[in-house]
Every structure is written in C-alpha cells, then in structure tokens.
Amino acid sequence: MNALKNGKKKKIVVAVTGASGAIYAHLLLEELQNLQHLLNEVAVIFSDNASEIWEHENGKPFESVLPFRIYQKNDFNAPFASGSCSFDTLIICPCSMGILGRIAAGISDDLITRSADVMLKERRRLILVPRETPLNLIHIENMRTVTLAGGIICPAIPSFYSKPQHFNDALKTVVFRVLSLAGFENDHYRWSE
C-alpha cells in the first residue's frame, strides 16, 4: 500500500460493531496504522457489544496502542456527526445486521448510525462489511436500500485465488479490498494482473 487514488490524504472513521468478525477490524486498524503517511486522521467507534466480541475473538481486550482517537458511541459532539466535517469515509467493520437495519431505516440513534447517515447525505464513502450467514430477505433488502442510497456493501468473504498460506492472509484479502474501496492504491494480489 503506497498511494491514494486521488492523491489527497484521508480522514477515516472505523466503526466496530458486535457482529462476529472482530479479527477483520483488528487487521484493518493495523493496516491503517501502516498507512499513517496517507492519512490525516483515523477515528474509531465501538458499539456496546463490540468490545466484548473483540475480547472473545481476539483473545484480549481492545487496548488503544494505535494512534487513533476512540469516540464513545453516544458522543454526538464528534466531528463526523455533522455534515460540515471533513471526514470522507466511514468503514463499519464488521457490520452487524442490527446496525445495517438502522442505517437502512434512517435511524440515527448512536454515533455509528448518525455517522453513516452523514456519509450518505453528504455523498461520501460508506463501506459496510457484514459478516453474517445465511442472509434472510430483510438483510438483503436492507443491503439493497443502503446500496441504492450510495453505500457500499463489501461482505467479509475472503478470496482464495491468491492462494493464501495462512489464516490472516486469507482474511487480509477482505481488508485489502475494503482499503481499495476506501481509495487506497495497493499492491495486493489482483486476478490475472
């Protein structure tokens, strides 16, 4: 990862929800730390259940050793709770079906859903990384609604054509795809290139 698609440094919000898949958020935050030279700021929000799931799946509690500011989920004074902010991307990773449903319905009852609403109304980048299976029709319709409103649904489905040798290598295929969608040029494996 060594460039931005438009050359402008980015301001990104990463929201972590209580869906299974905290390892994706962990790897995403590590990669964003590696991209500090391309970033103006990274902000992080955890939903109520996210910290518990993080600890269960990653084997230890989230400790902010990363140079990112953590916002409380009810902090509506956060800059990205307003359309006047200069944050350009919100990545919700992993994205629970509850958060997805509230975004699709326009319910801004916490900082995560309010930030998503801001990104959609301001025509900025909203990337949702759901990790749920199987999907019911309500999930699919909510994904459709968010997509029609301008959001990007990027399911946490690893690719295998790069022949990953390790568990994290497979998971990083999703993380690299999310970063590409967020506007970063990267040198990860691409089909037939």
Chunked into runs of 10 residues, the chain (193 residues) has average pLDDT values of 69 96 95 93 94 91 81 96 96 98 97 98 98 96 98 95 88 95 78 60
Task: Check if the beta carbon of residue 146 is closer than 8 Å to that of residue 108.
Answer: no
Which pTM was predicted?
Answer: 0.93
Instruction: Report how far apart, in Å, the C-alpha atoms of 100 and of each of 32, 66, 95, 173, 178 are.
Output: 23, 27, 7, 22, 17
pLDDT in tens, 41-60: 999 999 989 999 999 998 98
Q: Compute how many other C-beta atoms are within 10 angstroms of the C-beta atom of residue 148.
A: 9
Nearby residues of 192 by Cβ (< 8 Å), 6 or more positions away:
none
